[in-house]
Structure 1
Amino acid sequence: MKRISSIVAAATVAAGVFSAPLASADEGTPAPEGQQLSVISELTDTSAISDQNWVIPGNKANRPEVKKLQATSPAMDGREIPLAVIPSNKPDSPTIYLLNGAGSSEQNTDWLSNSNVVDFYKDKNVNVVIPQAGAFSFYTDWEQEPNSQYLQGKQKWETFLTKELPGAIEPYLKASDKRAIAGMSMSATSSLLLAQHNQGMYNAVGSYAGCAATSYPLEYEFLRLTVNRGGAQPEQMWGPQGSPNNVYNDALVNAENLRGSALYISSATGLASATDMPSYYTNQGMPPAVASAQAAILQGEGGVIEAAANHCTHNLKSKLDSKGIPATYNFRNAGTHSWPGWREDLEKSWPVFKEALGVED
């Protein structure tokens, strides 16, 4: 029950940007002149991560193919950010930055714990970098410093992910200058945001069941649902609803700034699919009562969240269509806000990423 609750809860909504001169993705620079970069080192196993699946000996999420690293964030006072890295077997390979959802690895709702991400990417000739921290942060730069269990001190995730980390991790991996970013639920919004705020940096962007709009009254309250789970308020993150910084972080308003990147965008309807039924879990050996309870959570909470994400995503499609900005869409007829859909997105977004990144077999 706890696992399914966290799966359903692993997300919600948000995104944004102002217009800026358009650049091609290959012109993006991860290290502006004078920018202080991260320092990359081997992961230090601390009490903060010792109960996370990806570092627990014997856990299926703790894979030997994954390099366990950490990177400092100068903007966050030198905080060490754990990184799970699936390295390419070839030098000069592009890099995919894959973001976790709301609970991230802090709640074991990360890609390593809930998908076949390692087996899928390990032979694709790309480097995959997964920040294993940032729960409930929207991977954005906050106006204020929260003080809760998950959100403490400076939250400068956009600065870390776009200014500090790439210029350090890409040379470490002997990577090329091509890159993509993708995320699910909360971080689907983040992926749109980071691409919009840093035009030309990402050749491809994946948004799996997120919500681009964040500055409208209802959508701002969607933000609150997620950020509240981290013990903070959206006002601490972007200021009041409708404020300039909130509008800057609205990817629907600023959809024009996605032009130039290959886009993969998905959502489901929220209607129950085969993976939301009790039989799906009883077939895996769960007792019928437990399977029924888990299915009820997915069909109830997960259905409502995904229906909201579906509404948001169709609005984004309409905006992009009106501007003549192409994208690849995956609108599923059924499915809740849960991992089976995001595992599908991992695979179905690959052809978009492969072409945009120039990956050869």
Structure 2
Amino acid sequence: MRRATGAVAVLVIGLAGVCQIVAEPARAAAARIAHIETKSPTRSSVFVESTAMGRTIQVDVLHPAGGGARPSYYLLDGLDPGVGQSTWTNATDAEAFFAGKRVNVVLPVGGQASYYTDWQADDPRLGRNRWETFLTAELPPIIDAAFDGNGVNGIGGLSMGGNAAFILAARHPELYQAVAGYSACPDTGMAAGAIMFSVANRGGDPVNMWGPPGSPEWAAHDPALMAERLRGKTIYLSTGSGIPGKHELEIKPQLPENLVLGGPIETGVNACVVSFENRLRGLGIPAQIDHSLTGTHSWSYWQDTLHASWPALAAGLGA
């Protein structure tokens, strides 16, 4: 287990040479807490000066009111993250749901259309994205030191954030014991067109991320190709069918296109999840896959599946 000695970066040792398609792991970089805002006894906003990102990043943490060592669950946002807070706390009952649970829920704020990865080049519209370095090298020792983290980590996310969670878990298997995706497609090759479109639709140049599709960096960020590196982890995936269900009339901060395209988007996600599930089964890697007969690409369903995922994740994290 990793254990921090303070709010500074520590060396993260990667599994070099395990698989040719895996790039060198992110090097540790200095980072520090600028300040912490206490929102409640169980919620804090941590402002981290990131050397990798070249700016201060807000990270909200849901945590127990008392002390004591506990694991951390990094929970990533979708394509359009919330402003001033994670959409998980704005659109779901995550804060109330995790109250009293012995876990830190770590919610990075920002990262629009970034896929929470290290981009090859700064983007004129989306700026500097070194999220992999921030999330895997800079942030964990800070969270462990400031919030009694015990070095046991899980990572999850919805849609784009779920894709990123599986990418990070496959690229840094030593760091995460559990991984979850809510309406996420962990097959980068299958989702390449959608990834390119989603970045471009937010004004970014997707070639600045991993280069053109088919380049080595796309393969190096494909959990389907690196699925063996997920063996031994608690794995959770959920998907709806795209057929409208019980939550369609609820008002939530959906992505604008999801009001119309939430059904077709989820249909595509479902096909990807089925393909990834078959990949895991072919390798004999256990996973909990929740398929719903209804459900679109929208927040109320992600709240439901966050609840559904927690028993498995809690067991995997020892929470």
- Shorter chain as denominator, the TM-score bin is 0.7 to 0.9
Look up the equivalent residue of 2:183 and give its one-letter code: A
Runs of 4+ in structure 1 over 6 Å off: 27-30
CA distance in 1, matches of 2:43, 2:281: 39
Counterpart in the other structure of 2:281: 321
Q: Secondary structure, in 3 states, of the residue corresponding to 2:154? A: strand
Q: List aligned pairs for 1:138-217, cutoff 5 A.
A: 138-148=115-125, 151-152=126-127, 154-216=128-190
Q: Is the 8 A contact 2:70 2:149 kept in 1?
A: yes
Higher helix share: 1
CA distance in 1, matches of 2:294, 2:114: 29
Mark the runs of 5 or more structure 1 residues left unpaired by the alignment. Answer: 1-25, 45-54, 56-61, 285-293
Q: Secondary structure, in 3 states, of the residue corresponding to 2:31? A: coil
Q: Report the TM-score, using the length of structure 2 for normalisation.
A: 0.86
Q: List aligned pairs for 1:1-361, cutoff 5 A.
A: 26=1, 31-32=10-11, 35-43=28-36, 65-77=42-54, 79-88=55-64, 89-106=66-83, 110-148=87-125, 151-152=126-127, 154-216=128-190, 219-276=191-248, 278=249, 300-359=260-319
CA distance in 2, matches of 1:178, 1:64: 23
CA drift of 1:223 comes to: 0.4
Counterpart in the other structure of 1:58: none
CA distance in 2, matches of 1:275, 1:269: 13
CA distance in 2, matches of 1:332, 1:107: 32
Q: Is the 8 A contact 1:104 1:110 kept in 2?
A: yes
Taking a change above 3 Å as real, the CA distance of residues 185 and 315 of structure 1, as seen in their structure-2 partners, is same
Q: Secondary structure, in 3 states, of the residue corresponding to 1:106? A: coil
Q: Is the 8 A contact 2:72 2:103 kept in 1?
A: yes
Q: Is the 8 A contact 1:105 1:135 kept in 2?
A: no
CA drift of 1:42 comes to: 2.2
Task: Give the percent of matched residue pairs that are identical in Structure 1 and Structure 2.
Answer: 31
- Farther off after superposition, 171-180 or 103-112: 103-112
Q: RMSD across aligned C-alpha pairs, in angstroms?
A: 2.5
Look up the equivalent residue of 1:253 and give its one-letter code: L
Q: Is the 8 A contact 2:60 2:85 kept in 1?
A: no
CA distance in 2, matches of 1:82, 1:253: 32
- Farther off after superposition, 99-108 or 263-272: 99-108
Counterpart in the other structure of 2:23: none
Q: Report the TM-score, using the length of structure 1 for normalisation.
A: 0.77
Q: Secondary structure, in 3 states, of the residue corresponding to 1:98? A: strand
Counterpart in the other structure of 1:17: none
Look up the equivalent residue of 2:195 and give its one-letter code: L
Look up the equivalent residue of 1:36 and give its one-letter code: A
Higher strand share: 2
